[in-house]
Amino acid sequence: MPSVLEIDRLTVSFDTPDGAVQAVNDVSLSVNAGECLGLVGESGSGKSQTFMAAMGLLADNGTASGEIRLDGVNLLSAKESELNKLRGERIAMIFQDPMTSLTPHMRIGRQLAEVVIEHKNVSKDEARQRALDMLKRVHIPEAERRLDMYPHELSGGLRQRVMIAMALMCEPAVIIADEPTTALDVTVQAQILDLLMEVKDTLGTAIVLITHDLGVVAGLADRVAVMYGGRIVERGTVDEIFAQPAHPYTQGLLKCTPRLDTDTETLVTIPGQPPNLQSLPPGCSFHPRCPHVFDRCESERPTLDEVASGRAKACHLETLEAAQ
Amino acid sequence: MSDAFLQVRDLKVHFPVRTGGILIGEYTPLKAVDGVSFDLNPGETLGVVGESGCGKSTLGRAVLQLVGATDGVVSWLGTDLTSLNKKELIAARENLQIVFQDPLASLDPRMTAGDIIAEPLKNYRPQMTKAERRAEVKDMMERVGLLPRMINRYPHEFSGGQCQRIGIARAMILKPKLVVCDEPVSALDVSIQAQVVNLLKSLQREFGLALLFISHDLSIVRHISDRVMVLYLGKVMELADKSALYAQPRHPYTQALLSAVPIPDPAKERNKDRILLTGDLPSPLSPPSGCVFRTRCPKATEVCAQHVPQLDPVEDGHTVACHHWNT
């Protein structure tokens, strides 16, 4: 499958009063057309910043180096005008909190229409019609009435549907969904995940699903990359990652996630704390928490090596024993 | 139950919400908790689950009388907490503690970890000397997995998981009999969640305390609870032993809720039959007539709009409020 978005040796760092912090370190990823790539990690793992850099949305004190290519354009060196042409039309983003990402004082219809007026140069009436069609497509009931509503008049689930509709307005090649269901209740989450699946299957839009929830990834993603301390530690198909995790962090994450379909007395834990990006441990960032640590891990950082086609891990262990 | 530990009977918490009127306001009661009854036994964990706005946090607060009850009884060791005056309530609260959701916001930023954990001791054990208190605090810090040498640090110097451990230490230091945990792990990373859940379980075993564990996360509730209560718009939909509730949910809402939880297993997720609920939670200001769940219920019929379903016993200890649970 051809890749639509390619991230090549991306590094993102932030200037802070306490010195530079590397939030993303040497990350390479590709997103293929029509697939869903799950990007998993805990807070501070760099999963969001990787794609904030792609969207040109880093905070003022952030700088990105490396290359992010979309349609042959390097987004990191592109001019603002070039970027504005691609953003919304070829690549769009859905955020966690739909209330704060919609403009509160603008009616839904106008917010949606704005996207096509900007990019497709259509008339206002045409844009409104397209907005209406899109609201229907994301299964918003009473779509005509919603066009003239303000965001605060909608529930959280409907707002997220509006966000998805807005992202789809120009039928982009890639949608970045950053924790799209974290703020939603579980029954509404199920509705939104269904919708994203439908978007992927019917429109062939590639979706990057950024989340900490392994359950969400399991249902939607085709391929998964796991991040820890600003780096990708493991990459593979969703079945490989869940059935045979090759990195001890992935394995630990899977084991410590409480599952609805099992009932164990004590949950397995990953000991210790997530790493502090300002003082990452030497060698492998995960070694202070790793049950399989040996001396090489403390001195030498493992590189992300391809172990099979499409499957890579950054770990010194030859093989990782399967979890019992 | 002969030895009454905690008995909640027909508890109602209604908040007046201004819905109109210019000079003289018109108020509509928002029924956050509407007629909830349950028992809690010593050393037991009752999980309270439901979506946002179902009244689960208000219920936890009403049990501790942090919000006043509009009606009903909260009988704690034979005394009705709702009838106590302020002084008596303070005395009773020695055995009643709470752990909040947001670990950082629930700690005073200008107090050290040691002072925060010691505060209940200051209030309830005034005869203790400073040195004794400090020793006790250090002991508790160790039990909850904090380094005692961090006693003089401030909340902002700790991570989210560590802050939650401080909150737990503060709740546990008086060795209470009942702790209400209001979404104690929702703000934490997955790897830290498991640590905190295990900590709560081991403290419970050690002190024999009862937990009212409020959470929207059905997977975590399964791991920590003995019994589980499902709330929807302030009403109990189903109450059962954990094993019965997860293996054979009877209420259509419980069934939908359980089927909506994503399982971290790609094969299972793909082949799962999901019961998709349509629409959103109705406004709690104007709940549907009859069964409050009927507007989203796949089994709803005419009778559901007319009659409020009562909690029916399915079997011993398993009750469900639905007209159609056995059809």
Apex CA A112: angle with CA A107 and CA A115, to 5°?
A: 130
pLDDT, tens digit, 9 for 90 and up, residues B205-247: 998 999 999 999 999 999 999 999 999 999 999 999 999 999 9
Mean pLDDT taken over chain B: 92
Q: Considering only CB atoms, which chain A residues are within 8 Å of B159? A: 273-274
Q: Which of A43-52, A229-238, A296-305, B274-283 has the lowest mean pLDDT?
A: B274-283
Helix (H) or strand (E) holding A200: helix A186-203
pLDDT reported for residue A188: 86
**How far apart are the C-alpha atoms of A81 and A86, rounded to whole Å?**
9
Arithmetic mean of pLDDT, A32-49: 93
Complete edge-to-edge strand list for the sheet that includes strand A62-70: A19-32, A3-16, A62-70, A73-74
Residue A295 tokens read as: 């001396």
What residues have CB less than 8 Å from A142, skipping those under 6 apart? Answer: none
Mean pLDDT taken over chain A: 92
**How far apart are the C-alpha atoms of A286 and A290, rounded to whole Å?**
6
The complex's ipTM? 0.84
Q: Which of B261, B266, B276 sits opposite A242 (nearest CB)?
A: B266
pLDDT reported for residue A267: 83
What share of residues in chain A are helix, strand, coil (percent, to 5)?
35, 25, 40
Q: CA separation (Å) from A274 to B159, B162, B166, B322?
A: 9, 12, 18, 45
pLDDT reported for residue A323: 63
DSSP code of residue B307? S
Arithmetic mean of pLDDT, A74-84: 92
**How far apart are the C-alpha atoms of A152 and A130, rounded to whole Å?**
22
Write the DSSP assignment of A209-265 as a string of letters: EEES-HHHHHHH-SEEEEEETTEEEEEEEHHHHHHS--SHHHHHHHHHS--TT---S
Chain B nearest-CA distance from A81, in A, is 38
Write the DSSP assignment of A21-83 as a string of letters: EEEEEEEEEEEETT-EEEEE--TTSSHHHHHHHHTT---TTEEEEEEEEETTEETTTS-HHHH
pLDDT, tens digit, 9 for 90 and up, residues B156-196: 988 888 999 999 999 999 999 999 999 999 888 888 889 99
Is B51 buried (19+), middle (13-18) or exposed (0-12) by CB count in 10 A? Answer: buried
Q: Of A73, A53, A76, A32, which is closest to residue A208 (Cα–Cα)?
A: A32
User: Residue B64, SS3?
Assistant: coil
**How far apart are the C-alpha atoms of B301 and B39, rounded to whole Å?**
32
Q: Say whether A269 and B162 touch across the interface (CB within 8 A).
A: no
Residues in chain A: 324
Phi-psi sector, B244: left (phi>0), alpha (psi -120 to 50), beta: alpha
pLDDT, tens digit, 9 for 90 and up, residues B58-81: 999 999 999 999 999 999 999 999
| Percent of chain A residues topping a pLDDT of 70 | 99
**For residue B21, what pLDDT band results from cuts at 50, 70 and 90?**
confident
Arithmetic mean of pLDDT, B297-320: 93
Arithmetic mean of pLDDT, A73-90: 92
Chain B nearest-CA distance from A192, in A, is 11
Complete edge-to-edge strand list for the sheet that includes strand B6-20: B26-40, B6-20, B71-76, B79-80
User: Residue A289, SS3?
Assistant: helix
Q: Answer yes or no: is pLDDT of A217 > 90.
A: yes
Residue whose entry in the numeric block shows the structure tokens 């796949």: B298
Q: Say whether B269 and A158 touch across the interface (CB within 8 A).
A: no
Arithmetic mean of pLDDT, A43-54: 92
Q: By the CB < 8 Å criterion, does A309 face chain B?
A: no
Q: Of B155, B172, B158, which is closest to residue B119 (Cα–Cα)?
A: B172
pLDDT, tens digit, 9 for 90 and up, residues B105-162: 899 999 999 999 999 999 999 999 999 999 999 999 998 989 999 999 999 988 888 9
Phi, psi of A268 (to 5 degrees): -70, 140
Higher-confidence residue: A277 or A313? A313
Q: Considering only CB atoms, which chain A residues are within 8 Å of B164? A: none
Q: By the CB < 8 Å criterion, does A322 face chain B?
A: no
Q: Answer yes or no: is pLDDT of B303 > 50.
A: yes
pLDDT, tens digit, 9 for 90 and up, residues A237-291: 999 999 999 999 999 999 999 898 887 778 888 988 888 888 899 999 999 999 9
Residue A211 tokens read as: 């989340």
pLDDT reported for residue B3: 60
**How far apart are the C-alpha atoms of A36 and A42, rounded to whole Å?**
19
Q: Which of B51, B193, B276 sits opposite A191 (nearest CB)?
A: B276
**Interior/surface letters A267-298, b for 16+ CB within 10 angstroms, e for the rest:** bbbbeebbbebeebbebbbbbebbeebeeebe
Q: Which of B198, B243, B263 sits opposite A260 (nearest CB)?
A: B263
Arithmetic mean of pLDDT, A37-53: 93
Q: Say whether B262 and A212 touch across the interface (CB within 8 A).
A: no
Chain A nearest-CA distance from B263, in A, is 5
Q: Say whether B191 and A42 touch across the interface (CB within 8 A).
A: yes
Question: Which residue out of B191, B263, B297 would a mutagenesis test of the A interface target, given it has the greatest number of A Cβ atoms within 10 Å?
Answer: B191
pLDDT reported for residue B138: 95
**For residue B321, what pLDDT band results from cuts at 50, 70 and 90?**
very high
SS (H, E, C) B259-303: HHCCCCCHHHHHCCCCCCCCCCCCCCCCCCCCCCCHHHCCCCCHH
Q: Say whether B197 and A157 touch across the interface (CB within 8 A).
A: no
Q: CA separation (Å) from A244 to A39, A237, A247, A297, A314?
A: 17, 10, 9, 21, 15
Structure-derived torsion over alpha carbons of residues B297, B302, B308, B313, reported in degrees to the nearest 10 = -70
Q: By the CB < 8 Å criterion, does A193 face chain B?
A: yes
**How far apart are the C-alpha atoms of B61 and B68, rounded to whole Å?**
9
Q: By the CB < 8 Å criterion, does A58 face chain B?
A: no
**For residue A324, what pLDDT band results from cuts at 50, 70 and 90?**
low
pLDDT reported for residue B2: 44
Q: Say whether A219 and B276 touch across the interface (CB within 8 A).
A: no
Arithmetic mean of pLDDT, B90-110: 91
Q: Of A70, A8, A82, which is closest to residue A206 (Cα–Cα)?
A: A70
Arithmetic mean of pLDDT, A1-27: 92
pLDDT reported for residue B53: 83
Q: Answer yes or no: is pLDDT of B5 > 70.
A: yes
Q: Answer yes or no: is pLDDT of B251 > 60.
A: yes
**How far apart are the C-alpha atoms of B182 and B106, rounded to whole Å?**
12
Question: Which residue out of A40, A209, A260 would a mutagenesis test of the B interface target, given it has the greatest number of B Cβ atoms within 10 Å?
Answer: A260
**For residue B273, what pLDDT band results from cuts at 50, 70 and 90?**
confident
**How far apart are the C-alpha atoms of B220 and A213, rounded to whole Å?**
13
- Nearest-Cα residue of chain A relative to residue B272: A219
pLDDT, tens digit, 9 for 90 and up, residues A156-176: 888 999 999 999 999 999 999
Q: Of B235, B185, B178, B176, which is closest to residue B50 (Cα–Cα)?
A: B235
Is B53 buried (19+), middle (13-18) or exposed (0-12) by CB count in 10 A? Answer: buried
